[in-house]
A and B are shown apart, each in its own frame.
Chain A
Amino acid sequence: MHIPDFMFPVAQGLVYWVIALIFIVLALRWARHSMGEEKVPLVAVLAAGIFAIQALNIPIPWGTSGHMVGAALAAIVLGSPFAGVFVLTLVLLVQGVIFGDGGIIAMGANIINMGVIGGFVGYYSYTAITSMTGNSYAAAFVAGWASLFISAILCAVELAIAGTFPLVAGLTFMGTYHAVIGLIEGGITAFALYLIASARPDILEHPRGVST
């Protein structure tokens, strides 16, 4: 869902950059207050793993493919939506600058869609569903799915404002493809959470099965 530069007018891109920068500052404040030094290696490994798995496009029907974004996973594991912003900002920065994946002017929008929306929707749907059902893996699956789907819906709205898509067609197409790609996001989020919780239950900010 990386928006390339040609799909976005410069002025609109700069507006989203300003909004993104506000969230980046808030994410740095979160790190200063809540990301202990002992979490640093985990954050680095999570970011590296998210970068690698983003390169793995999985085919879905209709000649299309999709990949994991990972903001929901980062937010769940590190216990804050801002962790999703922190990790995804750095992933998107490297992808855009070194690999030409996602635009530079459009990077602010990509940070908002994948980092901010992914992190916030992922984190709060995870905590809400975990406390309602007590099943953190089901919650992680739904949180991953919702984080990707809502990101795609917002992306369609932004591209409609940009004049790249008509709104209704954009929502229909983006919604349909990403409703399926969301299953990949949900599945890998739940599986990765299971692996991390099995290896190091103490490392999670909200241990599985414990409501918040």
Chain B
Amino acid sequence: METKQFVMIGIAIALVIAVAAPFLASGNPDGLESAFFSIHDAKPFMGSDLDEEAAAAAEEQAVAATGNEFSFEALMPDYSIPGLDKTGEVLAVVLGTLLMLALVYGIARVAARPDN
């Protein structure tokens, strides 16, 4: 397979995943969040019921323990665009994928071993 074709197929696969992800992705807490919530009694270890109030309290407790109150408004928080629902999520992941492609291409070009 030609390199160009290989790269194009790779980009196509990445974009298909990016478009599908907002529809297929599970909204469950990830492993780290689940562990955090379970340890702080906001969720049973082997169960799925999340107690939102206890989860918020656990977060406050962690902020108190670490003293780290740093936070900022991300441009597209949690892979979404405020006010755009599903469309915004698809756009966010697609834009992120294209940004990765351009950014890494640029940086890798500068960082790579020159061939000549």
Contact = CB atoms under 8 A, between A and B. Distances in A.
B97 A56 contact: no
A204 interface: no
B31 A41 contact: no
Contacts of B93: 52, 55
Given A5-B68, A94-B99, A199-B9, A56 B50 contact: no
A47 interface: yes
Contacts of B66: 6-9, 162-164
A28 B18 CA distance: 28
Contact of A43 (B49, B76, B92, B104): B104
A7 to B, nearest CB: 6
A161 to B, nearest CB: 11
Nearest to B17: A52
A155 to B, nearest CB: 7
| Majority DSSP secondary structure for residues of A touching B | helix
A9 B32 CA distance: 17
B99 to A, nearest CB: 6
B55 interface: no
B79 A63 contact: no
B62 to A, nearest CB: 5
A152 B77 contact: no
Contacts of A164: 36, 62, 65-66
Contact of A52 (B14, B70, B74, B76): B14
A47 B68 contact: no
B108 A31 contact: yes
Interface in B1-45: 1, 3, 6-7, 9-11, 13-15, 17-18, 20-22, 24-32, 34-36, 38-39, 43-45
A10 B32 contact: no
Given A13-B68, A41-B105, A173-B38, A99 B92 contact: yes
Contacts of B14: 45, 48-49, 51-52
Interface of A: 1-3, 5-10, 13, 28, 31-53, 55-67, 86-87, 90-91, 94-95, 97-101, 103-105, 152, 155-156, 162-166, 169-170, 173-174, 176-178, 181, 199-200, 203
Interface of B: 1, 3, 6-7, 9-11, 13-15, 17-18, 20-22, 24-32, 34-36, 38-39, 43-50, 59, 62-63, 65-79, 92-93, 96-105, 107-109, 111-115
